[in-house]
Amino acid sequence: MNPATFANIPHAHSQDSVPKLMGRVLLALLPATLYGVVLFGWPAFNLLAVTVLACLLGEAVCLWLAGRSVRLGMLDGSALLTGMLLALSLPPWAPWWIGAIGGAFAIVVGKGVFGGTGQNVFNPAMLARVMLLVSFPVQMTTWLDPHPWLSGSAPSFLEGLQVTFGHWAATDGVTGPTILGHIRTELGMNHALSQSVPGHYQSALAAVGWTGGSLGETAEILILLGGLWLLWRRAITWQIPVAMLVTVLLLASGFHWANPERFADPLLHLLSGSLMLGAFFIATDPVTSPLAPVGQIVFGIGCGALVYIIRTWGGYPEGIAFAVVLMNAATPLIDHYFRPRIYGRTWRGESRPIEKKSDEN
Amino acid sequence: MSRHVFWGGVHPPGQKHLSAERPIELLPIPARLYLPLQQHAGGPALPVVTVGQRVSKGELLAKAQSATSAPLHAPTSGTIAAIGEFTAPHPSGLPMATITLEADGADQWIEREPSPDPFDLEPAEVARRVGAAGIVGMGGANFPSAVKLDKARQAKVHTLVINGAECEPYMSCDDRLMRERAAEIADGVAIMLHAVQAARAVIAIEDNKPEALQTMRDACRVDERMEVRSLPSRYPAGSAKQLIQWLTGLETPAGGRGTDTGLLVHNVGTAYAVHRALRYGQPLISRIVTVSGGAVAEPRNLEAPIGALAADLLAYCGGVDTDCTRLLMGGPMMGQPLPCAETPVVKGTNGILALTAAELGEQRSPEPCIRCGRCVEACPMGLLPVEMANSARQEDWSGIQALKLNDCMACGSCAYACPSRIPLLQYFAFARSQLAEQRRQESKAQHIRQLMEQRQARFAREERVKAEAAAQRRAAKQSRVVVTADDDDDD
Amino acid sequence: MNDYRRIFADGLWGNNVVFVQMLALCPLMAVTTTATNGLGMGLATTWVLLSANIVIASLRHWIAPEVRIPVFVLLIASLVTLADMAINAWLHELYKVLGLFIPLIVVNCCVLGRAEAFASRQPVLASAADGLAMGLGLTLALVLIGACREVLGSATLFAQASLLLGQSFAFLEIVLIQDYSGFLLMLLPPGGFLVLGFLLAGRRLLERPRP
Amino acid sequence: MRDYLLILLGAALVNNAVLVRFLGLCPFMGVSNRVDAALGMGMATTFVLTLAVAVSWLLEHYVLAPLNIQFLRILAFILVIAALVQFTEMFIRKASPALYQTLGIYLPLITTNCAVFGIALLNIQQQYDFISSLLYGLGSAMGFTLVMALFAGIRERLALANVPAAFAGAPIAFIVAGLLALAFMGFVGLPVR
Amino acid sequence: MKTDFRNSLGYPMALLGGIALMTSAAISVADWLTQADITQRQLEDLQATLQQVVPATYFDNDLVRDTVTLRAGDQTVIAYRARRNGQVQAVCYQVSAPGYGNSAMVMVMGVDRAGTLLGVRVISHAETPGLGDKIEVTKSDWILKFNGRSLNDPPPFGWAVKKDGGIFDQFTGATITPRALVSAVKSGLEFFAAHRLALLDEVVAGGTPK
Amino acid sequence: MIVAMAALTSLGLFFGLLLSLAARIFRVPVNAQREEIMALLPGVNCGQCGYPGCGGAADALIAGQAVPTLCPPGGSALARSLATALGQTLDSAENGPPLLAEIDEGRCIGCAHCGKQCPTDAIIGAPKQIHSVFQEACMGCGLCVDVCPTECLQLRPQTPTLAHWLWPKPMLEGA
Ligand SMILES: Cc1cc2nc3c(=O)[nH]c(=O)nc-3n(C[C@H](O)[C@H](O)[C@H](O)COP(=O)(O)O)c2cc1C
Ligand SMILES: Cc1cc2nc3c(=O)[nH]c(=O)nc-3n(C[C@H](O)[C@H](O)[C@H](O)COP(=O)(O)O)c2cc1C
Ligand SMILES: Cc1cc2nc3c(=O)[nH]c(=O)nc-3n(C[C@H](O)[C@H](O)[C@H](O)COP(=O)(O)O)c2cc1C
Ligand SMILES: Cc1cc2nc3c(=O)[nH]c(=O)nc-3n(C[C@H](O)[C@H](O)[C@H](O)CO)c2cc1C
Ligand code: SF4
Ligand code: SF4
Ligand code: SF4
Ligand code: SF4
Ligand code: FES
């Protein structure tokens, strides 16, 4: 019997493939990445390179250990994407070993031990980010004011190497808090928001992206455009980003309306931190999010609510990574309980009698 | 009826232009025809002819075994060359029971009584005649049509849906049939309406066949009970369940029948066959087959006798190029791969495709599933194909049944949509055959248990008989002992 | 003798409380931030296992099934409490290191587990051997995991061992990297799980039947 | 009201019994192969934990403290809890076979669940009033049930995945538990009591 | 028969009761035997801690036994008094503060008659190793910076970490711990100011020095 | 001290009585085999077997849903004794497709020995005639093979037919 006869039923296939999908996501990230690199200069570029290389190396080692084709496995581009997303969520002037440890952790512990691409339960990049934050809080919470490439304050190539690979201690001159961190500090001292967040600071600058923060969270507009492009190219579906953004928006509006001095305004929530990146590029990771559209909406709502809770009451100024990883843990249960209704069956899986439908009509 | 939607589905490129623009041509009768005894759902037909017997065109070769079975008729006149085994149109390439007919070239019809006006007949009699003509569903399910008509009448179906969707890529046989023989189809529909006693008929045609829509509209104008509706071109719009959902918003209950919704679905080819059977007394001995694919020199639609080999059809269409990588019976979505071209056309064969590697998509090895959910989105039944495949891989049979593998109609939408080329349908087929095997083993075990019990019972009986015999002997002996005390050494 | 050898082989490796039976996980995760802590906890638990096995094995003919479990837990809890009081009063320096962990032993389910699985069915001597073997196996696991976490997390080994074992054991204390900035993950809750996971995978590779 | 809610949430999420306090790990690893078993175990634990916290609180405040014999606390608690669990199991088994099937069969497992005893002791250290104690017990049990269910869901999925042979089964389960603990660190700092 | 009486209703009861009797007897005896030693050891521990924050030159009494119990808000505070020649020279007492992630930090502080800090030591905490644990004197000398400070040195607004405009350093990456500690020490000093007379055993009327 | 002892002893007496009474009042009929298995199982009730405690494990073992190697705390010794108690062997691994008896018709001499052996009467044939096996009734027990004098009777995998054909399992290199 010729086994080839059984291959590839049906005998027509859509033209999509995993590398194409990953390629699209990478492409959509490119503008924001370039912007981030320009904004933070050579050190940011170095960190990006180190992180991506660590991921690729980790992937190669895992594939080799698993006895799979290293070339084929690397070609799918998922390790590259993990590296990119991880780098984008790091402080841009973090030392090289942050990127290296993070990248290796993401691929080996986040994915390799589960059996490689597609088998992992948690989002590898966010797992690594959470791990780094928990293990190296100092390096992971030293944020930088923008030092755009050709401006006077930008480090030269050699200085860039010194920042990433040498000993460099943050000085108050170059570092500054992100908006969310600032709010947290101020609230910690019982200052009302109206004093601590002056109006002009609010959304305009953040939206244009002239703010300190991680590599990939500054250019909210570029991220949003990339995300919309992904939606249009059908690389992602609308359920997760929309559910997540709407949840944050609703919660933020409600609390802000109740007590504007304690709770930041919704626009600030939407446009600061890495909410956009999280909603369009991270929570949408197909491997670790629910399969079915209903489940995806539940997942998005969960992510949004957790982000808001952690940002507002938790111990960390930003909660995307934790929210995503926590909801990843819930994904199998969501997949278990939120399934599409089967044709001809009720939601509970019993055969669905005809009369009911005519009533509904 | 208002517009509704059906869930899921995919948009494979149609490729219908390859064959749709040429009129139907008649395939010359090949020298030998191979007629498998089971071309329908239900028990195989029982041969009523012997090897060497001469038969005329339309003569009964094998009779229906039971109510759900269908008779088989000679597609042409000739001699029965063999009743044996021949390669089945099945991917395994295993043989099945087949009657071989050696054509004599005369194509001599059997004597036919003139047909009475079908509308004068009792509805049940119409259905009986449909059954006697060996008509089975031409839409692919091969279910004996007479049974469907009878059941539908008993279920008081109000609407007959004539399925002209033809949603499979490449296929254009229904399209050509509707374009060229619309009046005949309309007549068949009217006869079926009579057989079912339904109030109206809806002829549903995908909107990528504007000419067929037009000709059918023209042909149906004569009968106000018939309505022609255009369907969106989306695979699998032609599946009965999805068609019903699109037309009415109703869903066939799981485990129930389509007729539970008050609708009966039949293929246009079936309507045409009913017309031929009831008006002219012609049994089902030929059908329209689309011969297409990039490896076929001149794709076209042929009216071919049942039993002609795929090779005969392909040869008539100019032969197959060397770059043909796969032969299919049926469309690319649901068709069966053929082990070789020497397999016969059966009643349900709507197409023979010879596809090139390029058409099949680049031959990539599967990548890991990334749980993207495209298969879930694509499934018109609302199933979780990826979970079913995972369960099949781990051979978790109770798990896969809980995921309702039974509701899957193997439409292939999920596997079409999968960017990782996960062989979802092979996993389902594997699981199905394993489950079937389990059921077989169970019933076999039960059967064996019965046999063993019977054997035990037989032994017990024999023992008893022996014991009784011995007892009698002993009794006799004893009585004899009374008579003659020294007759001991008898035992 | 062979029997006892098997009991020890089982306890230390073949049927190790942690690696195979997967019991005693709570104290395992809670104390193994250093190898020293692991060692202290392991030794204390060994003592309890040993004495509990002996007491229960000698009482085993008297136990009524209805109250079996309450009796066992009472005995174990009192043994632990006795140990706690004794160390606190007379070995106070040791208590400062171990004190936190001792009450944890009461709820260590491997003690009850051994009582049920072994001591309530076997003679006193075998039970004592079993308790000792299981305890040493547990200690081995605790030290192993503690060492991994300590080396990765703070680049030291057996830090403060001299506090536990006395000055003569100060040589055990090793600082691997002087200015190690610390890998907190390993010292925090997740670290224990991850290390145990990788150790189990390693054990699996070791035990893999060689063709 | 707010305080009560915070006690509940604090016990369930921030100071999760399994992932933060390291209590009840053995059944957490043992009975988490299937979601329904995990939920059954969670419910049984919820019942026992609430009962245990209530009884131990009463014991502490009406027996041990008045008689000034707190040094017997461990002994008394563990005796009472073990006996009550066993009694409940016997009772349910006879009284309601249906309840026994969904809940009661998990009760013997709870004797090896150090969470019950640990939480009862911790609760006394927190010096809560009776209602707060009950909520503390309930919250801890809810946290236990939550992580059991999450973990079991993940393990069910992993059972169908292609985990490398060296990691399949217990090793990957521990790694997942570690990653889950990492994720739960996100709740650190929530203002709970 | 052995088995007979074991099947009787009373046997399990007697067994459990007996075991309970045995164990409680054992524990009681052990308690009785060890009680004195344990108390002694605890006192020694306490003494050792107290001596870290009150130099030996300040007292000639047994300061662990010279205590006064006061109420501060809803908490009771036990203060130990260091006397030389009968006069209270310094007092020390425990204060606690919420640390990172709601865990409690407990420290003792010693204050002399004038309200000047003699020393502060953290005796228990659950701060993150490597971050918040720099408050331990074995890890960093940060805690020694309190020595010699008083409510007016620095002035009240200076009683904060530098990040909040005060004079005390925060740790890199951990502001919460030092912030909480500074404010706890400050309120400890305020407690001293509020109860100065009672603490120094100079109450003329109203107080009940022991 | 007396108080302490009195208090704990009365607690002990009280709960001892309670449990003792409960064991009588709530007695449920026991199953001998279950008791036997229970006596073998460790009684740790840790749940690692995936069943709710040792009781659940015993039930599953008796119902044939579990294999004797189910209990990690029990180790391999327990697996062995459980297998003995349940009358199973430890290596009950499946070995290939089921085999059925098949008669090589060329060599069958019609001795009719095999038919007498077959517990399901699956061998058809009169004495001195060529015998054949009715495969739908054969369970592959092999009893007949030993008695065949010409060795024409062999156990072979079932010949595939359309009705028996099984889809192959897709083999993926990586996924
Ligand atoms: C994807 C992503 C996830 C992030 N997650 C967190 C987080 O969980 N916690 C956090 O403190 N910062 C996180 N950040 C960084 C924050 O957005 C922000 O830069 C940080 O909160 C600044 O905090 P600070 O002012 O306290 O230094 C994340 C950034 C990205 C891009
Ligand atoms: C996925 C799928 C697609 C189908 N597509 C068509 C189609 O395009 N045309 C058609 O007539 N029947 C199609 N069928 C078959 C119909 O469901 C139904 O069986 C048939 O129309 C009934 O008519 P018949 O009994 O006359 O064959 C399809 C079935 C399935 C499962
Ligand atoms: C795992 C982890 C542990 C932490 N432990 C402490 C701690 O013990 N003490 C502390 O003050 N902050 C701790 N932090 C909090 C941060 O470092 C926090 O960002 C900082 O205290 C806020 O100070 P900032 O105002 O300088 O950003 C911890 C953070 C993490 C991620
Ligand atoms: C839309 C999309 C989003 C993705 N997001 C992530 C991500 O957030 N983190 C990550 O590690 N990989 C991401 N990937 C890549 C890949 O799915 C991921 O590495 C898998 O988890 C590896 O098994 C993404 C891929 C796609 C298509
Ligand atoms: S479409 Fe393919 S890759 Fe996507 S979830 Fe389904 S099987 Fe997996
Ligand atoms: S083949 Fe089955 S599972 Fe796949 S889309 Fe069709 S009905 Fe759904
Ligand atoms: S694994 Fe063994 S000891 Fe644990 S519950 Fe199951 S049978 Fe009992
Ligand atoms: S193998 Fe057994 S069942 Fe089959 S024919 Fe022989 S004796 Fe009969
Ligand atoms: S549950 Fe086993 S030690 Fe806690």
Does residue D192 form part of some domain? no
- Determine contact, residues D52/D137, Cβ cutoff 8 Å: yes
- Output the pLDDT for position A188: 64
Instruction: Say which range, A63-77, A156-170, C139-153, F74-88, has the weakest mean pLDDT.
Output: A156-170
What are the start and end residues of each CATH 3.30.70.20 domain in chain F?
A: 99-157
Q: How confident is the model at residue D132 (pLDDT cuts 50, 70, 90)?
A: very high
Q: What is the rounded CA–CA span in Å between residue B295 and residue B284?
A: 30
Atom of ligand 6 nearest to the CA of B413: 5
The per-residue pLDDT for F38 is 85
Question: Chain E: nearest CA to D1, how far in angstroms?
Answer: 20
Instruction: Say if residue F80 is exposed, middle or buried (CB neighbours under 10 Å; 0-12, 13-18, 19+).
Output: middle
**Domains: count for chain A:** 1
The verdict on a CB contact (< 8 Å) between E102 and D191 is: yes
Smallest CA separation from ligand 1 atom 26, residue: A181
Residue E89 token pair = 């020279």
pLDDT for position E60: 87
Q: Is residue C4 part of a domain?
A: no
**pLDDT over 90 at B42, yes or no:** no
The total of structural domains in chain C comes to: 1
Task: Examine the pLDDT at A201 and tell me if it is beyond 70.
Answer: no
By percentage, how much of chain C surpasses pLDDT 90?
A: 31
pLDDT, residue A175, reads 60
pLDDT at D178: 96
Predicted local confidence at residue B455, as pLDDT: 84
User: In this predicted model, what pLDDT tens digit does every residue of B451-466 receive, in sequence order?
Assistant: 888 888 888 898 899 9
Count of the separate structural domains present in chain B: 2
Nearest ligand to the C-alpha atom of residue C104 = 9
Mean per-residue pLDDT, A185-203: 63
Binned at pLDDT 50, 70 and 90, residue B362 comes out as: low
Distance of CA B154 to the CA centre of its chain: 23
- Given a cut of 50, whether residue E1 has pLDDT beyond it is no
Residue E102, pLDDT > 70, answer: no
For ligand 8, which residues put their CB under 6 angstroms from it? F 101, 117-118, 120, 122-123, 133, 138-144
Residue B161 and residue B278 share a domain: yes
pLDDT at A298: 97
In angstroms, the CA A252 to CA A260 distance is 10
Q: What mean pLDDT comes out for the span A116-141? A: 92
Chains B and E physically touch (3 or more Cβ atom pairs below 8 Å)? no
Site of tokens 């020199």? B297
**Sheet-wide strand order for E104-112:** E67-72, E75-84, E87-98, E104-112, E117-124
Tokens 């005995």 correspond to C75
What pLDDT was estimated at residue A293?
94
Look up the domain containing C98 and give its range: 27-195
- The burial class, CB within 10 Å (0-12 / 13-18 / 19+), for E158 is middle
Measured CA angle at C106 (ends C105, C112), to 5 deg: 100
Identify the pLDDT of residue F90.
Answer: 61
What does the alpha-carbon distance between residue D86 and residue F22 come to, in Å, rounded to a whole number?
9
Give residue A3's pLDDT band: very low, low, confident or very high (50, 70, 90).
very low
Point out the domain boundary residue: B261, B288, B315: B288
Q: Kindly determine whether residue F16 and residue E23, on different chains, have CB atoms separated by under 8 Å.
A: no
Report residues whose beta carbon is within 6 angstroms of any ligand 6 atom.
Answer: B 378-379, 381, 383, 385, 408-414, 425
Average pLDDT over residues D172-189: 93
Is residue D191, in this structure, part of any structural domain at all?
A: no
> Looking at B244, B262, B288, which one is the last position of a domain?
B288
Alpha-carbon distances of B358 from A12, A72, B293, B327, B364, rounded to whole Å: 10, 21, 11, 14, 12
Who contacts A164 (Cβ-Cβ below 8 Å, separation ≥6)?
Answer: A42, A43, A46, A47, A50, A93, A94, A95, A96
Asked if C185's CB is within 8 angstroms of A131's CB, the reply is yes
- Answer whether B271's CB lies under 8 Å from B448's CB: no
> Is the pLDDT higher at B478 or at A20?
A20
Q: Which residue of D has its CA nearest to A105?
A: D179
CA C159 to centroid of chain Cα atoms: 18
With an 8 Å Cβ cutoff, are D182 and A315 in contact? no
Is D76 part of the contact surface with chain A (CB cutoff 8 Å)? no
* Mean pLDDT, residues D48-53 taken together: 92
Q: How large a percentage of chain B has pLDDT more than 90?
A: 74
Chains contacting A with at least 3 CB pairs below 8 Å? B, C, D, E, F
Query: Token pair 């660190």 is at which residue?
Result: D185
- If you measure from the C-alpha of residue D69 to the centroid of ligand 5, how many angstroms do you get, rounded to a whole number? 64
Cβ pair A291:B429 closer than 8 A: no
Instruction: Name the residue at shortest CA distance from atom 29 of ligand 2.
Output: B239
**Tens digit of each residue's pLDDT (9 = 90 or more) over B82-135:** 999 999 988 888 899 999 999 998 999 998 887 889 999 999 999 999 999 999
Per-residue confidence (pLDDT) for residue A344, from 0 to 100: 92
C125-139, C185-199, D24-38, F39-53: lowest mean pLDDT where?
A: F39-53
What is the per-residue pLDDT for A209? 63
> What SS3 state is found at E49?
helix
Cβ pair D161:B387 closer than 8 A: no
In terms of residue numbers, what domain contains E187? 56-199
- The parent domain of residue B404 ranges over 366-482
Determine the pLDDT at residue A38.
87
Check residue E206 and give its pLDDT. 46
Residue at B93 is within a domain: no
A26-60 confidence digits (pLDDT tens): 999 999 999 888 888 888 999 999 999 999 999 99
Whether A342 is in a domain gets the answer no
Flag if F73 and C14 touch (Cβ within 8 Å): no
The fold adopted by the segment(s) F33-86 is: 3-methyladenine DNA Glycosylase II; Chain A, domain 3 (1.10.15)
Residue of B170, B267, B268, B425 to mutate, ligand 2, most atoms within 8 A of C-beta: B267
Q: What is the pLDDT of residue E205?
A: 44
Q: In whole angstroms, what is the distance from residue B129 CA to residue B194 CA?
A: 13
For B399, the closest chain D residue by CA position comes to: D160
Distance from CA of B8 to the nearest CA of D (A): 25
Number of structural domains in chain E? 1
Tell whether C14 is covered by a domain. no
pLDDT, tens only, C69-102: 888 988 999 999 888 888 888 878 778 766 666 7
C154 touches chain E (CB under 8 A): yes
Residue F16 has pLDDT above 50, yes or no: yes
Q: Cα separation of D56 and D124, whole Å?
A: 8
* Between A140 and F97, the higher pLDDT residue: A140
Residue B400, pLDDT above cutoff 60: yes
Q: At what angle do helices F32-40 and F75-86 cross, to 10 degrees?
A: 160
Number of structural domains (chain D) is 1
Residue B393 has pLDDT above 70, yes or no: yes
Residue owning the nearest CA to atom 3 of ligand 2: B239
What is the number of the ligand closest to the CA of B389? 5
Q: Return the bridge partners of E174, or none.
A: E171
Q: pLDDT-based confidence at B172, cuts 50/70/90?
A: very high
Q: Express as a percent the part of chain A with pLDDT over 90.
A: 52
For residue B321, the Cα-to-chain-centroid distance in whole angstroms is 29
Distance from Cα F140 to the centre of ligand 8, integer Å? 6
The pLDDT mean for chain E works out to 83
Query: For residue A360, what pLDDT band results from cuts at 50, 70 and 90?
Result: very low
Query: How much is the pLDDT for B452?
Result: 83
Q: Is the distance from CB of D74 to CB of C77 less than 8 angstroms?
A: yes
Tokens 């129930």 appear where? Answer: B256
| CA A112 to ligand 4 centroid distance, Å | 14
Q: How do B200-206 and B226-231 pair as beta strands?
A: parallel
pLDDT band for position B168 (cuts 50, 70, 90): very high
| Residue D158 forms part of a structural domain | yes
Whole-angstrom CA distances from B28 to A207, A285, F71 are 74, 58, 72
Q: C209 lies in a domain?
A: no
3-state DSSP of chain B? CCCCCCCCCECCCCCCHHHHCCCCEECCCCCEEEEECCCCCCCCCEECCCCCCEECECCEEEECCCCCCCCEECCCCEEEEEEEEEECCCCCCCEEEEEEEEECCCCCECCCCCCCCHHHCCHHHHHHHHHHCCCECCCCCCCEHHHHHHHHHHCCCCEEEEEECCCCCCCCHHHHHHHHCHHHHHHHHHHHHHHHCCCEEEEEEECCCHHHHHHHHHHHCCCCCEEEEEECCCECCCCHHHHHHHHHCCCCCCCCCHHHHCEEEEEHHHHHHHHHHHHHCCCCCEEEEEEECCCECCCEEEEEECCCEHHHHHHHCCCECCCEEEEEECCCCCCEECCCCCCECCCCCCEEEEEECCCCCCCCCCCCCCCCCHHHHHCCCCCCHHHHHHHHHCCCHHHHHHCCHHHCCCCCHHHHHCCCCCCHHHHHHHHHHHHHHHHHHHHHHHHHHHHHHHHHHHHHHHHHHHHHHHHHHHHHHHHHHHHCCCCHHHC
Residue D14 burial class via C-beta count within 10 angstroms: exposed 0-12, middle 13-18, buried 19 and up: buried
Q: Is the pLDDT of residue B476 over 90?
A: no
Lowest mean pLDDT among A185-194, D33-42, E65-74, F117-126: A185-194
D25 within a domain of the structure (yes/no): yes
Residue D83 domain-assigned? yes
CATH of domain F99-157: 3.30.70.20
Task: Point out the residue among D22, D78, D114 whose CB comes nearest to the CB of C109.
Answer: D114
Per-residue pLDDT at E139 exceeds 60: yes
Is residue E130 in some structural domain? yes
pLDDT per residue as tens digits for the range C7-51: 888 888 888 888 888 888 888 888 888 898 899 889 889 999 999
Of F168, F173, F175, the CB nearest to A6: F168
pLDDT at res. A159: 78
Q: Which member of A1, A118, A361 has the closest CB to residue B370?
A: A118
Give the span between the Cα atoms of B441 and B160, in whole angstroms.
Answer: 40
Neighbours of C173 (CB within 10 A): 16
| DSSP assignment string, A226-255 | HHHHHHHTTSS-SHHHHHHHHHHHHHHHHH
* Cross-chain residue pair A20–B419, CB shorter than 8 Å: yes
Print the SS3 string covering E134-183. HHCCCCCCHHHHHCCCECCECCHHHCCEHHHCCCECCECCECHHHHHHHH
pLDDT reported for residue A361: 37
Q: Which atom of ligand 8 has the smallest separation from the CA of F137? A: 3
More confident residue, E89 or A173: E89
- Among B117-126, B187-196, D157-166, E172-181, the minimum mean pLDDT is found in E172-181
CB contact at 8 A, C145 and D22 = no
The pLDDT of residue C193 is above 50 = yes
Least confident range from A151-155, A175-179, E188-192, F18-22: namely: A175-179
The pTM is what?
Answer: 0.88
F22 in contact with chain D, both atoms CB, cutoff 8 A = yes
Confidence label for A250 from pLDDT (cuts 50, 70 and 90): very high
Angle between helices B182-196 and B123-132 (to 10 degrees): 120
pLDDT band at C177 (very low <50, low <70, confident <90, very high): confident
* pLDDT(B435) > 90: yes
* CA F162 to centroid of ligand 8, rounded, Å: 23
Select from A334, A321, A223 the least CA-distant residue to A280. A223
Residues B21 and B147 in one domain: yes
Provide the 3-class DSSP secondary structure of residue C29.
helix
pLDDT at A357: 43
- pLDDT score of B229: 94
B188 within 8 A of B215, measured Cβ to Cβ:
no
Of ligand 1's atoms, which has the minimum distance to the CA of residue A282?
1
